[in-house]
Structure 1
Amino acid sequence: NPLYYIQYAHARVCSVFRQLPLRGFTHDADNGRSAYARLTESHEQALFKRLSQFSDTVQRAAVNLEPHLIVHYLRELAQDFHAYYNAHAFLVADDAPLRDARMNLIAATRQVLANGLALLGMSAPEEM
């Protein structure tokens, strides 16, 4: 079921944020913004690209009365996130700027997943 896959991606991002204080880290969004240029991995670039397509996808879905376009988009975003999650460490101990930049990227992913699910009338669980 694609809905559970999408919701699981949201819950997984939330889990990473819950791990921050448990590992003795904080998240400084401003510090992360200054390090965006360091997000050069292919998985990071794929997420940036996919995130940039959200508003166009929503607009197309609304104009054409095709809500399934949002579902397809969210499934692809979840796929991109899961691939990124499996390939890279977010909670990098020795590199706070990189950690913060990666946390900003997955925070944006979490927000878009939540917004898309809300448009579809679905919940965005923080745990599964």
Structure 2
Amino acid sequence: MAELAMRAGWAGHQGGYDRLGDILRPDDGTSPFCASAVVSGGRDQFPAMPVGSLLTVLDGSTAIRWLPEVKTPFVVALIDRSSADESAAMTVLQCRSIGDPVAVASLGWGAIAGIEALAFEARV
């Protein structure tokens, strides 16, 4: 629980840090996001997801290639826009184009300065 109280943000940035507990949403009896799995882009194949996972975090631009394999109801993709390869952003935008928009504010989270957020519901 001590680690969940830590704040994450850009080094040297003034204010606006998020608590890790607010990002990861551990099992406190009220959060549907307690069962989450982080998938790195550096893997050779998509990993077996823990039973009961409700959230997948695709960590990095190269992890976006796993998006078609994800079967959890919620996915968060962390994409570094400084990458010269824009294929990750294009993949997400293509998925969004056939999805239904969701207001980011409805998720109960607000992006800090330097962070972009977009949300959509995929049509299955």
Provide TM-score, normalisation by structure 1. Answer: 0.24
Indicate the structure with greater helix content. 1
Indicate the structure with greater strand content. 2
**More relative contact order, 1 or 2 (CA 8 Å, 6+ apart):** 1
